[in-house]
């Protein structure tokens, strides 16, 4: 790993964090698609800025681009407020129009300059480490500059610091206005200010991240970590942390994936994000698919290398032919091996997954069985006053349980002070009485409202 690689990784990790924070709030506020709209319409800002200063590196471009983003938001709000169309339609109308103006302006006026749509739309990180921020330069004197390191780090770092400061300062306000706009307004924070503040931050972040990863992938970096984190937790703080973490993870591993495949960093980052999301969303199928494709890729690579060395004319074949040739080298055993690997992984996952796995499911069923049995047992004791019915031995025949099981149940009840045993005669304690009462109530009324309470009670027995 050389220093340029480290710098690129630092930059994308910073971008990922800077995107994940506003992204979380956008997802929670159901405004994810605004980020898409902003990321497209900043093109217009950049183009106009370019015409004013004729310099692609000018900071004015960034300012104008952020401004274009905010204008988009305002336009969308305005159109929505007229009530003529729904919000999503408003978004869908505004940004293509602004984007088209940008594209046409470029096509009309900037043909001979270095500003083409591709460079704006795709984004490239490879040269970021060499684009240094140098200050204190004296004209004509070489080496007079003070080198402050890559520019992109400064840009993103500043944005990140601002975002973090705002986040920490206004965390409470943001939280309230996100989940309950009405309450926030009643408490005296203006939801409008919060809204536009968030929009401004998102817009600036998108512009800052734009150079590095291109607009659509900014959207991926904003939404995907947040959505994945949202599937995993419902706590806002945890969600923020998780989405930052996921973003950074995807950034770093995406970088190495790009390195291996020799493809664009942004694209592979997004692919990693997609895999992460799918893993959380549909763990078994995804992990099976991923392992199949990794295994196939592994074999593919081996045969590919072999063909490169030995193959006649292999290098000059067109791409499709090449792939075809490599696959024709596959033998049945390889496929079996791939699928076997995937199946075993999936099977393994089915067993160990929390909440959805087989083992957990079995455990849960057992747990519930015990609970039901205990309940039946307690009800039985309660219903019978006669001593003969309450004799320990009688239970074995009457409720039709095996000896071992009935013993565990009685022990459990004893442990929880539900019953007392006097001379092999079981009787309910006050606590047991109360509990049984409640259980009967619950069974009879069976209203949703009481379930929660009962669940808490049942936790008594676990463990």
Partner 1 sequence: MGTAVLGAICGMLGSFAVLRKQSLLGDAISHAALPGIAIAFLITGVKDSNIFLLGALVSGLLGTFWIRSITKKTHLKSDTALGLTLSLFFGFGMLLLTFIQKQPNASQAGLDTYLFGQAATLLEKDVWLIAIVAGISLLILFIFWKEFKILLFDEDYTKTLGFNTRFIDVLITTFIVITIVLGLQTVGVILMSAMLLAPAAAARQWTNSLGIMVILAAIFGAFSGVVGTGISTVSGNLSTGPVIVLVAASIVLFSFIFSPNRGLLFREIRFRKNRNNIKMHKTLAFMYGIAKTHQNISHPHAIKILNGFQGFSKKSLQELVDLNYVKIDGQQWSMTQEGYQTAENLYDQQIKKSDE
Q: Which of 88, 100, 99, 93 is nearest to 33 (CA)?
A: 88
Taking CB under 8 A as the rule, does residue 290 contact partner 1? no
* Binding positions for partner 1, 254-273, rule CB under 8 A: 258, 261-264, 266-271, 273
Residue with smaller CB distance to partner 1, 315 or 452: 315
Taking CB under 8 A as the rule, does residue 104 contact partner 1? yes
Least CB distance from residue 316 to partner 1, whole Å? 8
Residue with smaller CB distance to partner 1, 178 or 436: 178
Name the maximum alpha-carbon separation found in the chain: 109
Kindly provide the residue ranges of all beta strands, DSSP E only, lying in 66-225, ordered along the sequence: 132-135, 146-150
Least CB distance from residue 238 to partner 1, whole Å? 15
C-alpha dihedral, 431 to 436 to 438 to 440, nearest 10°: -170
In degrees rounded to 5, what are phi and psi of residue 426? -95, 135
Least CB distance from residue 233 to partner 1, whole Å? 12
Interface pick for partner 1 out of 120, 174, 212, 224 (rule CB under 8 A): 224
Taking CB under 8 A as the rule, does residue 219 contact partner 1? yes
Taking CB under 8 A as the rule, does residue 281 contact partner 1? yes
Least CB distance from residue 218 to partner 1, whole Å? 8
Least CB distance from residue 108 to partner 1, whole Å? 7
Taking CB under 8 A as the rule, does residue 321 contact partner 1? yes
Least CB distance from residue 407 to partner 1, whole Å? 43
- CA pair distance 329, 187, nearest whole angstrom: 70
- CA pair distance 191, 27, nearest whole angstrom: 17
Interface pick for partner 1 out of 4, 110, 122, 392 (rule CB under 8 A): 122
Radius of gyration of the chain (CA): 32
Spatial contact of 11 and 152, defined as CB atoms under 8 Å apart: yes
* Binding positions for partner 1, 60-79, rule CB under 8 A: 79
Spatial contact of 412 and 374, defined as CB atoms under 8 Å apart: yes
Q: Kindly state the tokens that stand for 160.
A: 């990140």
Which ranges constitute the DSSP H helices of 170-214? 171-179, 181-187, 191-213
Spatial contact of 213 and 247, defined as CB atoms under 8 Å apart: no
- CA pair distance 100, 98, nearest whole angstrom: 5
Span of 97-105, 135-143, 298-306, 344-352 interacting with partner 1 by CB under 8 A: 97-105
Residues that bind partner 1 (CB under 8 A): 27, 30-33, 35-36, 40, 79, 82, 84-86, 88-89, 91-93, 96-97, 99-101, 103-104, 107-108, 111, 117-118, 121-122, 214, 216-217, 219-220, 223-224, 226-227, 230-231, 258, 261-264, 266-271, 273-274, 277, 281, 315, 318-324
């Amino acid at each position: 790993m050389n220093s340029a690689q480290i710098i690129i990784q630092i930059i994308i990790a910073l971008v990922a964090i800077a995107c994940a924070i506003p992204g979380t709030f956008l997802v929670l506020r159901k405004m994810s698609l605004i980020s898409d709209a902003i990321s497209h319409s900043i093109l217009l800002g950049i183009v106009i800025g370019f015409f004013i200063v004729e310099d692609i590196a000018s900071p004015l471009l960034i300012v104008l681009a952020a401004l274009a983003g905010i204008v988009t938001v305002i336009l969308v709000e305005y159109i929505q407020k007229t009530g003529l169309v729904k919000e999503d339609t408003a978004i869908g109308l505004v940004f293509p129009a602004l984007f088209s103006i940008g594209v046409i302006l470029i096509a009309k006026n900037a043909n001979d300059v270095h500003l083409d749509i591709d460079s704006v739309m795709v984004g490239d990180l490879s040269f970021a480490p060499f684009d240094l921020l140098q200050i204190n330069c004296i004209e004509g004197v070489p080496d007079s500059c003070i080198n402050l390191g890559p520019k992109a780090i400064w840009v993103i770092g500043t944005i990140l610091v601002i975002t973090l400061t705002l986040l920490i300062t206004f965390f409470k306000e943001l939280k309230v206005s996100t989940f309950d706009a009405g309450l926030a307004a009643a408490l005296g924070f203006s939801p409008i200010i919060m809204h536009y503040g968030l929009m401004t931050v998102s817009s600036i972040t998108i512009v800052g991240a734009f150079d590095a990863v291109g607009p659509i992938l900014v959207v991926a970096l904003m939404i995907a970590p947040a959505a994945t984190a949202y599937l995993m937790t419902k706590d806002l703080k945890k969600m923020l942390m998780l989405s930052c973490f996921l973003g950074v993870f995807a950034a770093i591993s995406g970088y190495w994936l790009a390195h291996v495949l020799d493809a664009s960093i942004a694209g592979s980052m997004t692919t990693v994000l997609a895999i992460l999301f799918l893993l959380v969303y549909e763990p078994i199928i995804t992990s099976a698919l991923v392992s199949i494709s990794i295994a196939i890729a592994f074999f593919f690579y081996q045969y590919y290398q072999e063909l490169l060395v030995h193959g006649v004319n292999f290098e000059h074949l067109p791409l499709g032919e090449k792939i075809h040739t490599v696959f024709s080298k596959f033998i049945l055993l390889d496929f079996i091996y791939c699928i076997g690997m995937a199946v075993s992984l999936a099977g393994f996952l089915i067993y160990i997954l929390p909440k959805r796995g087989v083992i957990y499911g079995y455990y849960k069923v057992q747990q519930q069985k015990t609970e039901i049995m205990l309940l039946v047992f307690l009800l039985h004791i309660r219903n019978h006053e006669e001593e003969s019915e309450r004799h320990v031995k009688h239970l074995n025949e009457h409720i039709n349980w095996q000896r071992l099981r009935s013993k565990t149940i009685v022990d459990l009840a004893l442990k929880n002070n539900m019953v007392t045993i006097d001379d092999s005669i079981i009787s309910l304690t006050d606590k047991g009485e109360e509990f049984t009462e409640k259980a009967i109530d619950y069974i009879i009324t069976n209203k949703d409202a009481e379930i929660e309470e009962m669940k808490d009670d049942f936790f008594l027995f676990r463990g």
